[in-house]
Amino acid sequence: SPGAPLLLGAVVRLSNDGEEAALVPLLHRAAPLCAGRTDALGTDASNALAGAIARHADPAEIPLLLRPLRIDARRRVEAVLTAFTRLVAAGRHDEAVAMADAENIVSHAVARDDAIGRDTRLALALLDLATGDPADVPARIAGLALGPAAQRDMLIDGFCRLVNAGRYADAATYAEAAGIEALAASGGG
């Protein structure tokens, strides 16, 4: 497009001037213009847009908006994992489930031992409690820096959901593995 250099140049200037929020209306038009560009303008615009997308776009749209941008794969994964966490925190569970399936969230979260990976694993556990399989909660929260009360509450909640769903064999296995009897006796149930 003949206007692409002008628009991409404006994107870079707005970002450099600290006006990232002003890029939001341009995201859907500017991101596709970066596709296939290997010049400095394409690289600079991709990086500027990636930052604006990660911080200001609707989290459900972030994977799609990032797709045409030439950015580091690690940065892309970080933005998608953070978007997933934001969806769960906002209670947008259907969109979070769709993103988890489409973007391989579980594998990316498990592969990371940093704050983003831990936050994503916690979001996955919360999503399991809300809509998924509560039997997965102990594995999701293993190794996370949760306070004892929060961990106890999540584990007991998962157990209760299994019982309420009539999954008694799973609940018995879960109770033994997670130490539910001791947790309940400690005052958290």
Tell me the C-alpha distance between 154 and 183, whole Å. 11
Angstrom distance (rounded) from CA 105 to CA 26: 27
Residues 178-187 have pLDDT tens digits of: 999 998 888 7
In sequence order, the 6+-apart residues with CB closer than 8 A to the CB of 111 are 117
Per-residue pLDDT reduced to its tens digit, 131-164: 989 999 998 888 888 888 889 999 999 999 999 9
Q: Where are the domains of the chain?
A: 1-71, 73-132, 144-189
Residue type, 54: A
Structure token pair of residue 41: 């303008």
Tokens read off for 131: 């809509």
Residue 127, pLDDT > 90, answer yes
Share of the chain above pLDDT 90, in %: 77
Which amino acid, 17? Answer: D
With a cut of 90, say whether residue 40 has pLDDT above it: yes
Query: In the prediction, which pLDDT does 187 show?
Result: 72
Instruction: Calculate mean pLDDT across residues 157-172.
Output: 94
Categorize the per-residue pLDDT at 36 as very low, low, confident or very high, splitting at 50, 70 and 90: confident
pLDDT in tens, 56-115: 999 999 999 999 999 999 999 999 999 999 999 999 999 999 999 999 999 999 999 899
pLDDT of residue 189: 44
- Report the alpha-carbon distance of residue 46 to residue 37 in Å, rounded: 9
User: How does residue 119 score in pLDDT terms, banded at 50, 70 and 90?
Assistant: very high
pLDDT at 6 over 90: yes
What is the biggest distance separating any 2 CA atoms in the chain, rounded to whole angstroms?
A: 70
Q: What is the pLDDT of residue 145?
A: 80
> Given a cut of 70, is residue 13 above it in pLDDT?
yes
Number of helices (H) and strands (E) in the chain: give both, helices first: 12, 0
Query: pLDDT value at position 158?
Result: 93
